[in-house]
Structure 1
Amino acid sequence: MADYRAEEERDEFCNRQEGEKRMIVQPTSLEDPKLNKLKEVLVEWINKTLKFEHIVVRSLEEDLYDGLVLHHLLRRLAGVQLHVEEIALSTEAQVRKLELILTALNEALEVNEEKAKWNIKLIHSRDLLSTLHLLVALASRFQPDLVLPVVSVEIVQCEVTKSGIKADKQTEFITFQSNSSAELEKESNKECPIDELFKLEAHKIETVKKAILHFVNKNMTSLGLNVTDLDKQFADGVILLLLIGQLEGFFIPLCEFFLCPVGSSEMLHNVTLALDLLIDQGFPVQSVDPQDIVSQDVPATVKVLYSLFKRHKNK
């Protein structure tokens, strides 16, 4: 199947204009486990980022070419709202939409359009290599703690000349191993302080919980709220959202969450919103499952509150 796709790309490229270039991934590289792992990580990252928008991506090649997902990523990550149609059905409409989106993405990434390894034509033609380059750039810019596997692929760079197709084999790096990513990978293998805490004696756990509870109530008094049960009162997400707003200094519109949630689905909505806000603000809570908070899982709840305590305890 991979061989057939590569041949199909080459045949299509033969009809291009003179001087035009295209990089085609070798079939053997398409089957590389590291490449597949990178795709899985990026798909998971996109779905987690857009979870609140009810968008699910299954294929990087098939789900990003029309601009819908990229538009939502732009709005979610960079806070840029473009006035474009939500769903573009025709090719012309999709290309127009992509032009606006990629221009805004390049500005957010501070990437010169001429030096970018992606463009409208490549993204719209479902080119995997350019799509990966764009997504890796976005992840590196907006979530630098996301650990990406180091991936390189063998490519054939094709160029249309007067005498036919000129092909040159090269190695293309999609991700690199930087010092910072190496450190992050080491850190990700270390146990979280809260995970270590819950291995200690019960009285030590209670001491930490009391310190966090005191911290929470000190910051909630201005709202007239008092928390007495750390294990249960954060399950519906309401107090957590209000606490985040107090500490981070922004107002969360009441229309965005359920102030008096009824049922687990509304509670899950609130907690998911809270965790998304924390992740956007750089808190290391990606590993926390919103359902665990709703289910009154104490370590998960304390882990989230500890991240707030750690940043704001001296303010």
Structure 2
Amino acid sequence: MEDFPDMHQGNDPEDIGSFQGERRKIIQPTFLKDPKLEKLKAVLVDWINSTLKEEHIVVQSLEEDIFDGLVLHHLLGRLAGVHLSVEEIAVTSAAQTRKLELILEALNEKLGLQDSSLTRWSVKLIHNKDLLATLHLLVAMVRCFQPNLELPPNVRVEVVLLEVNRSGIKSEKEIEILTVESNSTTDSLSSSDSEDPIEQLLKLEPHKINTVKQAIMHFVNKKMSTLGLQVTDMEKQFSDGVILLLLIGQLEGFFVSLYDFNITPVNTTEMDSFFGMNHVLVAALPQRKNLQNVTLALDLLNDIGLPTTNIDPQDIVSQDVTTTLKVLYALFKKHKSR
């Protein structure tokens, strides 16, 4: 790590002390005028203004117009149908913070990010007009609520990772990815019919694979949130077939009778929430029963026109990431815009 003397000269001591012991990311000033970043900001501003046109809300600056929660509150209502009982205009800093806490809690739930450690934004960052956090939040909202909107591809910025301690300010430089190379997170996977899209995916760089996996996980958790279930480990949680069957039922609008498959609770709290039980026996089912569940799920996929003849159910039971991704991607591709 290296000293970052400019920060000593440009900040009030009280401001520096306010985040002592924290690690913060700041976009390098030279990247603030990057044409790709400017275009991304312009597209997001246009998206917000067109979305909130009927409410006569006009955004001119992402840095200055998002921090108090007013715009996010209206976007949440317009895009997700969630109307929170909060004051329309919060004047004081404390009121704005309280408002943002409620809004971001609801937004994160809709984005499938109930675990705040998975987010690149926070109440404090948004309220402090942190451009990087604001961009990450708005891009995630576009991907979730309006996936057909084309964002400028391959937007990256250099950031300085700052750490304040008693000896001063230390810094490291790294590249932060705001949008991936393709125009949408996963559509590029189908650019070639000669090879399975997931096989293409697994040949990409690790960060690109993770981006697609996160998009699919967001999609899954958005659909499963009404059942009180959340997926955090793609390979493990689909291996018994239970969540896969419930997901198919949610997406296709039919109910899979509990008599048709064997329930292996993800954990007591989650399954109690879904089935209304006071006590659930948490025990691993034999591999045979897991295989029956997964086989039933693949049969259902075949029935709804998603061929799975080349997929071995045992691979999903064995937590094979490639096979699990193939099934989830097929569902994602069919239902992502619905």
TM-score, structure 1 normalization: 0.54
Distance 2:80 2:95 in 1: 23
Q: 1:125 to 1:18 in 2, by over 3 A?
A: closer
- 1:141 equivalent in alignment to 2:144: yes
Match for 2:95 among 47, 68, 93? 93
Q: Is the CA contact 1:153–1:173 (under 8 Å) kept in the aligned structure 2?
A: yes
Shift of 1:19: 2.3
Structure 1 residue ranges without an equivalent (≥5): 188-315
Secondary structure of the equivalent of 1:133? Answer: helix
Residue from 161, 166, 169 that aligns with 1:165: 169
Distance 1:60 1:170 in 2: 23
Q: Deviations 1:42-63 (Å, cap 9, x if unpaired)?
A: 0000011111111111110111
Q: C-alpha offsets along residues 63-86 of structure 1, whole Å, 9 cap, x if unaligned?
A: 111000000000011110100000
Aligned equivalents of 1:183, 1:55: Cα separation in 2: 32
- 1:71-112 Cα deviation digits (max 9, x unpaired): 000001111010000000111110100010011110010112
Say whether the 8 Å CA contact 1:16–1:160 is kept in structure 2. Answer: no
Counterpart residue identity of residue 159, structure 2: I
d(CA) in 1 for partners of 2:107, 2:8: 29
The 2-side partners of 1:8 and 1:46 are apart by 33
Structure 2 counterpart of 1:23: 25
- The 3 A distance-change label for structure 1 pair 17 and 55 is closer
Tell me the percent identity: 58
Match of 1:51 in 2: 53
Deviation at 1:163, TM superposition (A): 2.1
Shift in Å at residue 16 of structure 1? 3.1
What is the CA–CA distance in structure 2 between the aligned matches of 1:9 and 1:143, rounded to whole Å? 39
2:82 aligned with 1:80: yes
SS at match of 1:73: helix
**SS in structure 1 opposite 2:50?**
helix
Residue identity in the other structure for 2:168: G
1:147, CA displacement in angstroms?
Answer: 0.8
Contact 1:6 1:26 in 2 (8 A): no
Answer yes or no: is the 8 Å Cα contact 2:157–2:176 preserved in 1. yes
Give the counterpart letter for 2:87 in structure 1. E
1:154 maps to 2:158: yes
List runs of 5+ in structure 2 lacking aligned partners: 1-5, 192-338
Aligned residues of 1:157 and 1:168 also touching (Cα < 8 A): yes
CA 1:74–1:6: 2 relative to 1, 3 Å: farther
Match of 1:176 in 2: 180
Letter of the aligned partner of 2:37 in structure 1?
A: L
TM-score, with structure 2 as normaliser: 0.50
Distance 1:26 1:57 in 2: 24
CA separation in 1, counterparts of 2:107 and 2:129? 18
What is the match of residue 129 of structure 2? 126
**Deviation sequence 1:291-313 (CA, Å, 0-9, x none):** xxxxxxxxxxxxxxxxxxxxxxx
SS in 2 for 1:14: helix
Q: Identify the residue that residue 300 of structure 2 maps to in structure 1.
A: none
Q: How does 1:221-260 map to 2 (within 5 A)?
A: none
Q: 2:162, 2:169 within 8 Å by CA — same for their partners in 1?
A: yes
What secondary structure does 1:114 align onto?
helix
Q: Secondary structure at the match of 2:120?
A: coil
Query: What is the rounded CA distance, in whole Å, between the counterparts of 2:9 and 2:67 in structure 1?
Result: 21
- Deviation of 1:181 (Å): 5.1
Alignment of 1:268-283 (within 5 A): none
Answer whether contact 1:67 1:97 (CA < 8 A) is retained: yes
Local SS of the residue matching 1:96: helix
In structure 2, the residue matched to 1:239 is: none
Change (3 A) 1:132 1:79: same
> In the alignment, is residue 117 of structure 1 matched against residue 117 of structure 2?
no
Pick closer, same or farther for the CA change 1:7–1:143 going to 2, 3 Å.
farther
1:293 matched to which residue of 2? Answer: none
- Supply the AA of the counterpart residue of 2:60: R
- Are 2:22 and 2:163, in contact at CA under 8 Å, matched by a contact in 1? yes
Instruction: Provide Cα deviations, 1:130-165, integer angstroms capped at 9, x if missing partner.
Output: 000000000000111111112100110001233221
Is residue 67–residue 127 contact of structure 2 (8 Å, CA) maintained in 1? yes
